[in-house]
Structure 1
C-alpha cells in the first residue's frame, strides 16, 4: 500500500473544494476502471507471451532501470 501517492493527494485536494460524496464516487469509479484495464491488459499479454519469458523480460527491464538510476546518481555525485 502506498500512502501519499499522487492519486490520494488529488482526491484529498478535490474533496476540499467539492462535495465529498461526489469525489468518493468518482475516485471509486476511477479505481474500478483502472483495475479492469489492468486485468484486461494482463490477460492479453499472458495470452501472447509465455510467463517465463515475461518474467525474464521484466527482470531485464528492472535491471536496466537500476543501471540508469545508478548512472544518474553517479553523475550527480561527480557534478557536486
Structure 2
C-alpha cells in the first residue's frame, strides 16, 4: 500500500469536506433527531459508497481520458456550480439584508 497516497487522499478529502453540505446535513439531522450514532453510521456508509464509486469510475475513465483533461473538466464543473450557487443565493441574501 502506498501510504503517501493514502494520507494525501485522507487530508485532501478531510479538508475539502469540512463545513460542506454533507457535514451540515449530518449536523442538522443530529439536532433534529438527537440520535448521533445511526446518523453517523448512515452518513459514513454513504460517504464510503460514494468514494468507492468515485475511485472505480475514476480508474475506468483514466483509461480513456488523460488526467489533465479530467482536472480541467473538474475545474470547469466546480466553477460552474459555484457560479450557479452565487446566482441562486445572492438575490436571497440581498433581500434578507434589505429587510435587516
Shorter-chain TM band:
0.5 to 0.7
Runs of 4+ in 1 over 3 A off after TM superposition: none
When the two chains are superposed, the root-mean-square deviation of aligned CA atoms in Å is 2.5
Alignment TM-score, normalising by the size of structure 1: 0.62
Highest Rg: 1 or 2? Answer: 1
**Structure 1 unaligned regions, length at least 5:** 70-80
Paired residue for 2:72? 58
> Are residues 1:14 and 2:12 paired?
no
**Structure 2 unaligned regions, length at least 5:** 1-14, 84-100
Bigger relative contact order, structure 1 or 2 (CA pairs below 8 A, ≥6 apart): 1
Alignment TM-score, normalising by the size of structure 2: 0.51
Count matched residues.
Answer: 62
